[in-house]
Every structure is written in C-alpha cells, then in structure tokens.
Amino acid sequence: MTPKKDDKPSMFKSLLSQARSKDKEPQEEFTQEAAQPEGTLSDTVEHRKPGRPRGRRSNPDYTQISAYIPLDLLLEVQSELLNERKSKRQRRSTDVSSLVEQLLQKWVNERNTQE
C-alpha cells in the first residue's frame, strides 16, 4: 500500500516541526537556589503551627513490624478493647498497636529487674 498524498500538511507533522524548533532554541538553566522559594522546607518544619500531633507512621521513633497471630485471638482482643472503650465511655480507646507496645515494654522492664 502506498501512503495517500494530501495537499494539506499532517497535524502530527506540524507538531513535530514545532518540537524540533523548540529544541534548537537555547534554554535557560535554572540554578537550584533560584528555583526554590525563599522559605525552604526545613524552615517550615521548625516553625510548625500547633495542631494535630504527629502520627506513629510519620514519627521516626516508631517502626512498623509484622507478627503472625491467630485471627480468632486478634478478633477477641479487638472486641475486648471495644468493650473497654464502651464501658469507660472513652472517645479514643487503646488500639492493638498500643496494647502490644505496653505488653512489650512490661516484658522488657521485668527482664531488666531480674538481672
């Protein structure tokens, strides 16, 4: 098959020629200092407004781990934590992560006192 000859130029051909002409023009190089606004990220982090505290996910003092526990045990623990929350009429209850942290801290403290 031979390509069809048409009198009007192709839309893609004109776009290609525009792109090629832009490549030939010298481009300004921006320095890192000129590209950044005056207030850098480190300035804004230090002068943070009071508000919601940082979560564990964004706190560098915490790390995420995985543990395999039986599903029935997890569901029972979550149920007990929910019942405790309801009985104490708390807005925020202890979550599984906080419970595991408390239990591990207690275990470490007991081991340190035995030594």
DSSP state of 17: H
The model's pLDDT over 5-29, given as tens digits with 9 standing for 90+, comes to: 656 667 788 888 888 887 766 555 5
Question: How far is Cα 73 from Cα 71, in angstroms, rounded to an integer?
Answer: 5
Contact 94, 82 (CB under 8 A): no
The model's pLDDT over 44-67, given as tens digits with 9 standing for 90+, comes to: 556 667 888 778 888 899 999 999
pTM higher than 0.75: no
Based on its alpha-carbon atoms, the radius of gyration of the chain, rounded to whole angstroms, reads 31
Question: How far is Cα 47 from Cα 76, in angstroms, rounded to an integer?
Answer: 43
